């Protein structure tokens, strides 16, 4: 569960296929969605493997994970530095944002309470410009 161990992670056809397919998508995709896309693209891979691989990549910090409003996990390849997202809860559009002071603050407040190895998650959601006007 903590598993920060890079220990034994073997490169396989499926693993690189997942990474590659993920690169072909600009936005966040769910495991189900990615699996469907891969299959559609003639890439034979098991659903369980997609889940496992995404989880492993996320654990390695290669992917960003967040949850849609209905609880589905969605993934996206992320850049090397830590950042957060502003997500439209209507259309799902995501904007990458930064919270410079937050990084330090998290460390600090963690330290103050005697916490170690502190990580944080920030999600900001709202309604984007497009979706404000087109309200049903």
Partner DNA sequence: GCGGAAATGAGAATCATTGTCAACTCGGAT
Partner DNA sequence: ATCCGAGTTGACAATGATTCTCATTTCCGC
- Of positions 19, 30, 88, 120, contacts DNA by CB under 7 A: 30
Q: How far apart are CA 132 and CA 89, in angstroms?
A: 11
Burial readout 11-36 (b: 16 or more C-beta within 10 A, e: otherwise): eeebbebbbebbeeeeebbebeebbe
- Of positions 20, 24, 41, 46, contacts DNA by CB under 7 A: 46
* 62 touches DNA (CB under 7 A): no
CB of 36 or CB of 86, closer to a second copy: 86
* 10 touches DNA (CB under 7 A): yes
23 binds, among a second copy, DNA, none (CB under 5 to 8 A by kind): none
Q: Is 63 left (phi over 0), alpha (psi -120 to 50) or beta?
A: beta
Cα 29 to the chain's mean position, in Å? 9
- What is the total count of residues that contact a second copy (CB under 8 A)? 38
* 72 touches a second copy (CB under 8 A): yes
Whole-angstrom CA distances from 47 to 12, 30, 112 are 16, 12, 43
- Contacts with DNA by CB under 7 A lie at 7-15, 30-32, 44-49, 51-53, 55, 70-73
- Contacts with a second copy by CB under 8 A lie at 2, 67, 71-73, 86, 88-90, 95, 97, 99, 101-102, 105-106, 109-110, 113-129, 132, 135-136
């Amino acid at each position: 569960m903590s598993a920060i161990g890079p220990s034994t992670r073997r490169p396989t056809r499926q693993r690189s296929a997942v990474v590659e397919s993920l690169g072909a998508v600009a936005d966040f995709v769910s495991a189900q969605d990615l699996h469907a896309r891969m299959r559609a693209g003639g890439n034979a891979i098991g659903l369980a493997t997609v889940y496992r691989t995404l989880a492993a990549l996320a654990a390695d910090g290669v992917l960003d994970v967040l949850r849609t409003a209905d609880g589905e996990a969605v993934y996206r390849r992320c850049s090397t530095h830590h950042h957060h997202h502003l997500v439209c809860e209507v259309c799902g559009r995501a904007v990458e944002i930064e919270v410079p002071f937050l990084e330090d603050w998290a460390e600090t407040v963690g330290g103050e309470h005697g916490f170690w190895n502190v990580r944080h998650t920030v999600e900001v959601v709202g309604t984007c410009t497009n979706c404000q006007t087109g309200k049903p």
